[in-house]
Each structure stands twice: as C-alpha cells, then as structure tokens.
Amino acid sequence: MSNYRRRFVPGGTYFFTVELLDKQSSLLVDQIDLLRTATGLCVKRWPFTIDAAVILPAKMHMIWTLPPGDDEYSKRWRLIKSTFSRHVRAPVIQSPTRLRPGEKGVWQRRFWEHVIRDQADYDLHMHLIITAPVTARLVRKPLDWPYSSLKRRRVDLDPPPPKTIAPVQLLQDP
C-alpha cells in the first residue's frame, strides 16, 4: 500500500485536482448543478473560500483558502465527493471487485493537492485553471468555457478589439 504524505498548513491556500474514475465520462459537466449543490453544502458546513475553479468533463481543479487554524481539506473533499456520489447513478464498472465496500465507483480514491507557497506559485496555478479547458481542447478561448470561475471573476484574457472610430473632438463653449 502506498504511503501518501500530505502537507497540512492551517489557514493555507491549496491547489487541488480531483478526477473521476472513468476518464471518458462527462459526469461532472452533465451534473454541474449537483456538483455546485454538494460544494455549497460543504462550504456551509465547513467554511472555506474557493479562489478559483474549473470543472472539466472528468476532472476539476480548484484553489481553496482555508480559515485560520484549519487544515482539514480532506474532510471537505470527502463530503463533496460523497454527497455528489450519493445522488448520481452508479457507473458501469469493468470490474466490481475493484470497488471497496460502500464505494460507488464514481471518483478516484485519492486527489492531488499542492500547498501554494507564494504569489508566483499562486499565479502559476491560476494560469493552469484558466487555460485547462483550452489545454483539454474543449474550447479555443478560456472565456468560452462555461464551467469556470473565470466567468464569475470577469477577467478578460482576450486582447481588446482594435478601435475603428477616431475620437470625437469636443468644442469649447463660446
């Protein structure tokens, strides 16, 4: 059995990648409202801030900031994943023997987390979130992907359109 080491920083900012067991699935975007509800319930129960998020068909990336003195991100992910799994149809699994008792086979058992160290690290992971739909070849421009916090932040990554009208000269009052 693998020995997973997690770094716990109370009140820290973390980058997460969470994936479905079936990489070909589109369950996360098909059930986006359920995922939002599950996440909202978790935020109500154990508050934290979602700084950025992108939901792809079979994986999601998020940046969270936990409250001061709190480092329990694992229980938050457990609540989100279990709430979501409880309300979706069980996927067709190739080998039911791979499932542990009580598992439905929706999520990968683990998730990947990274403690954000400084502003440059934050900017790097924010860029990863912003460009993930383009990298996955789902859209051509980041703003075209509807399941991203980029829409909510109203950040415009596209260059401004060229100006085609000359500025109007104002006349002074006589």
Could you tell me which of 55, 15, 22 has the C-alpha nearest to residue 39? Answer: 55
147 is an active site residue: yes
For residue 92, the SS3 value is: coil
Q: How many CB atoms lie within 10 A of CB 146?
A: 12
The DSSP element (H or E) to which 75 belongs, if any, is: helix 73-86
Q: What's the CA gap between 115 and 15, in Å, rounded? A: 6
Q: Which two tokens stand for residue 53?
A: 């998020």
Which residue among the candidates 4, 14, 122, 147 is catalytic per the annotation?
147
Cα Rg, the chain, nearest whole Å: 20
Cβ–Cβ under 8 Å, residues 15 and 62: yes
The residues carrying an active-site annotation are 147
